[in-house]
Amino acid sequence: MKIKEIAKLCGLIVYGNGDFQVEGITYSEDAQEQDISVAFKKSDIFKTKSKVVLSEPFFEQSDKILLLCQYGQLFPSLVKIAKLLAQNDPQLKLCCNSDFAHNQEKFVIGPNSVIGKSTIIGPFSTIGTNVCIGDNCVIESNVFIGDNTVIGDNCVIHSGAKIGVASYFHYKEDGKNKVFEGIGKTIINSDCQIGFNSVIQRGTLSNTVIGKNVLIGNLVLIAHDVKIGDSCMLICQSGISGRVIIGKRVSIWGKTGVKDNVSIGDDSCILAMSAVTKNVGKGKVISGLFSREHKNELKIQGFIERLFRK
């Protein structure tokens, strides 16, 4: 496609030859001459082989053809371009779940369960009793959805995920370790994505609730009675213990652990490999093993390193 056509359809501004034709879009280090290179930082603009660069506005001269998006819109813009190019080139095929529609004869649905319109269920998946799944969902292969689970519209649950499994509420009785499976439900609201091999436990006495537009990565564990607000993002290999309350628009990055019975305020960010052991206020950026604000954690680590060198 020509650059000017892409710019018009995606709401971008062109600086340079708008008649130049491109074949694909990729990262700066992988881009060839006919690709659109995505510049996440200024240095990407100058080191790429591509003649066309997608970036946010900047104020340095360049011999590249620039596709400029608004500040903060780089990721939505690259997704729009990728989808547009995929529509026009069969070799750039998007990952699509519609193939499951042709192989729906090998899944199990329990009694009194309701499946919404245009929802696709992949082979070897198991849907329990009294489950309600909304419209336009995709349940990929080898998914388990336990009894009394509620899933909203437009959700995607990837292969291997386990939703509404027994609560792991452990206690001691007569000197023995025991587990109570729970009587609560699992409720997942609309427009959520659950990653490969992730686990969401049902509530013990209350419900485990996932808000709208929540993205949960691969190999994530969400324990019993957890409440997650709208528009949150949980990255791969994170673990959320029981009865944790997470506000809206919270980002929890990879390999993070959250202790039970803590709360995380709206718009907070928990950086990778952190251990959250106490409540986190609104809008905080937390890192490290002691749940410190990120700036303070950097100062402490810097002090320890200087002390060690001395």
User: Which CATH number characterizes residue 270's domain?
Assistant: 2.160.10.10
- Which element (helix H / strand E) includes 24? strand 24-27
| Mean pLDDT across 166-170 | 89
- 141 belongs to a structural domain: no
pLDDT for the residue numbered 38: 92
The two structure tokens encoding residue 213: 């537009």
Q: pLDDT (tens digit, 9 = 90+) per residue, 62-90?
A: 788 888 999 889 999 999 998 888 887 76
AA identity, residue 198: S
Q: Is 167 in the same domain as 44?
A: no
Last residue of a domain, one of 92, 116, 139: 92
| Mean pLDDT across 237-251 | 96
CB 158 within 8 A of CB 144: no
- 113 belongs to a structural domain: no
Print the domain residue range for 197.
161-295
Last residue of a domain, one of 92, 120, 142: 92
% of the chain surpassing 70 pLDDT:
94
Highest mean predicted confidence (pLDDT) among 30-44, 85-99, 259-273: 259-273
pTM equals 0.81
- 48 belongs to a structural domain: yes
Name the residues annotated as catalytic.
224
Does the pLDDT at position 93 exceed 80?
A: no
Total of domains in the chain: 2
Does the pLDDT at position 102 exceed 90?
A: no
Residue that wins the pLDDT comparison between 114 and 58: 114
Q: Give 172's pLDDT tier (boundaries 50, 70, 90).
A: confident
- 76 belongs to a structural domain: yes
- 122 belongs to a structural domain: no
Q: Is 181 in the same domain as 260?
A: yes
- 121 belongs to a structural domain: no
Q: pLDDT (tens digit, 9 = 90+) per residue, 31-61?
A: 899 999 999 888 888 888 999 999 988 766 7
| Mean pLDDT across 101-130 | 84
pLDDT for the residue numbered 94: 61
pLDDT for the residue numbered 307: 87
Mean pLDDT rounded to a whole number for the chain? 90
Last residue of a domain, one of 43, 76, 92: 92
Closest CA to 140 of 120, 168, 113: 120
Q: Is 173 in the same domain as 267?
A: yes
